[in-house]
Amino acid sequence: MGISDGIKTATIEGNRDKTLLLIGQALDAGMQPGDIIQEGLIAGMTVVGERFKSGEIYVPEMLIAARAMKAGLEKLRPLLVGKTVDSLATVVLGTVKGDLHDIGKNLVAIMLEGAGCKVVDIGVDAPPDRFIGAIREHRPEFVGISALLTTTLPTMRETIAAFETAGIRKSVKVLVGGAPVTQKFADEIGADGYAGNAAEVADKIRSLK
Ligand code: B1M
């Protein structure tokens, strides 16, 4: 079994210590952090999602796997972020109200910091008012909204509508993303941009600046 398969299996099992140990070994062997995330951690989470969907595992197992993945991401964070200057843009980033998934958002934050953005992370289950407060306080050029549930997609629309009502919509560019989000949906709700994965978000920001 290859080392990325080992990381994938350790993530599926929710074995935090083994995930961290194998990530260390993968780095020592010269594997790139981005490949470790893609072929190990995300590959593992994909299997976890499939098993949950088929009723093979339940929420607690999903949580334990998420904990292993988060620990792995934190270990890799310094290598991905590096010593960049916050010069590309300021981005307020959060997961929409009603949605507790934050691994994808955290990965977006890491990739944005790595690309030289200042990220203001407002966390999960973020109501429109929390976004609006952060926009007023930090004056970002961009706002990133993440959603992982089909049931929280309408809330993404409501969040953008709340920016209009608060009179701040024109002061920021809104980017949306997350597994159920599509370019078509982003267009429908009046977002300025959509990114399919964490790596694409920085490209989107560069193209919209
Ligand atoms: Co949840 N969950 N979950 N879950 N969970 C999913 C999303 C699900 C697809 C599983 C499944 O059924 N196959 C399903 C949603 C189905 C749907 O709506 N269509 C689901 C469900 C149903 C639920 C609950 C309702 C379960 C329940 O309680 N019965 C519940 C909801 C809780 C809530 O939010 N209110 C729930 C809870 C949980 C846990 C708390 C146990 C845990 C989250 C832990 C955490 O995040 N701290 C969890 C997990 C771990 C998952 C899966 C297995 C993994 C998610 C993940 O972290 N993936 C997930 C199945 C899956 O995705 N395979 C599932 C890895 C991550 C890197 O990918 O988040 O997609 P992702 O992020 C990507 C892109 O989407 C994109 O970039 C990232 C990386 O490239 N991206 C952006 C994300 N945000 C972006 C923003 C951008 C741009 C790109 O711009 C701003």
Cβ(185) – ligand 1 distance below 6 Å: no
How far, in whole angstroms, is CA 5 from its chain's centroid? 23
Task: Please tell me the distance from the alpha carbon of residue 26 to that of residue 32, in angstroms, as a whole number.
Answer: 8
Q: pLDDT confidence of 186, banded at 50, 70, 90?
A: very high
Cβ(198) – ligand 1 distance below 6 Å: yes
pLDDT at position 114: 84
pTM: 0.94
Helices marked H in 117-182? 128-138, 153-165
Residue 123 pLDDT exceeds 90: yes
Residue 46 CA to ligand 1 center (angstroms) comes to 10
- Residue nearest to ligand 1 atom 81, measured at CA: 178
Q: pLDDT confidence of 185, banded at 50, 70, 90?
A: very high
pLDDT at position 83: 65
Amino acid, single-letter form, for residue 203: D
Average pLDDT on 49-53 reads 94
Mutate to test the pocket of ligand 1, among 148, 151, 205 (most ligand atoms within 8 A of CB): 148
Cβ(107) – ligand 1 distance below 6 Å: yes
DSSP sequence for 74-130: HHHHHHHHTT--S-S-EEEEEEBTT----HHHHHHHHHHHHTT-EEEE--SSB-HHH
Backbone angles phi, psi at 83, to 5 degrees: -115, 65
Residue 93 near residue 65 (C-beta atoms within 8 A): no
pLDDT digits (tens, 9 = 90+) for 65-115: 999 999 999 999 999 887 666 689 999 999 999 999 999 999 999 889 888
Amino acid, single-letter form, for residue 72: G
Cβ(180) – ligand 1 distance below 6 Å: yes
Residue 43 pLDDT exceeds 70: yes
Strand, coil or helix: 194: strand
pLDDT digits (tens, 9 = 90+) for 139-183: 999 999 999 999 999 999 999 999 999 999 999 999 999 999 999
Question: How many residues are listed for the chain in this entry?
Answer: 209
Task: Please tell me the distance from the alpha carbon of residue 95 to that of residue 180, in angstroms, as a whole number.
Answer: 13
Cβ(12) – ligand 1 distance below 6 Å: no
pLDDT at position 82: 76
pLDDT digits (tens, 9 = 90+) for 7-42: 999 999 999 999 999 999 999 999 999 999 999 999
pLDDT at position 205: 95
